[in-house]
Amino acid sequence: MEVADEKTPEHAGEGLERQIKAKEGERIARYIRDDAFVIALAIEGKQLTSEELAAKIDGLGLHGTSHIQLIIGGSLGLDPSILQRADYLLSFSRMTFPHQLMRVILLEQIYRAYKINAGEPYHK
């Protein structure tokens, strides 16, 4: 599911940025399932190797988790309410990446995790 970013003026102050993140957070929250394990991408999250991410996903399935939702924030990051709702904070780097690039990186790592868990040779 994709939730559109709020338009952010180029020289927005902290107060306006908080309001924008709150609006985005409200829209994101509407799509979070009550029974989902929520993984939010955040700079302050835990960095994992591909193998560790594969093990995390596999472990969730083994413990009966049938719905995993991964959340990427907008250009200002995620609202604190979404970070608090998250069951796990994941970081790919301490650097900031464009939203569209992060989607590709995340999808590739999910694909890689499933290949690792299936014992297939994609991961080297």
**Least confident interval from 9-13, 41-45, 79-83:** 9-13
Per CATH, domain 33-118 is 3.20.20.70 = no
Cβ contact 67:35 at 8 Å: yes
Pick out the residues of the known binding site. Answer: 41, 73, 92-97
- pTM, rounded to two decimals: 0.90
Residue 123 predicted with pLDDT over 70: no
Could you give phi then psi for residue 37, rounded to 5 degrees?
-90, 120
DSSP sequence for 44-58: EEEE--HHHHHHHHH
Residue 77: left if φ>0, alpha if ψ -120 to 50, beta else—which one? Answer: left
* Model pLDDT, residue 74: 87
Task: Provide the residue ranges of all domains of the chain, joining segments of one domain with +.
Answer: 33-118
Enumerate the known binding-site residues for S-adenosyl-L-methionine. 41, 73, 92-97
Can you tell me the distance from the alpha carbon of 9 to that of 75, in angstroms, rounded to the nearest whole number? 12
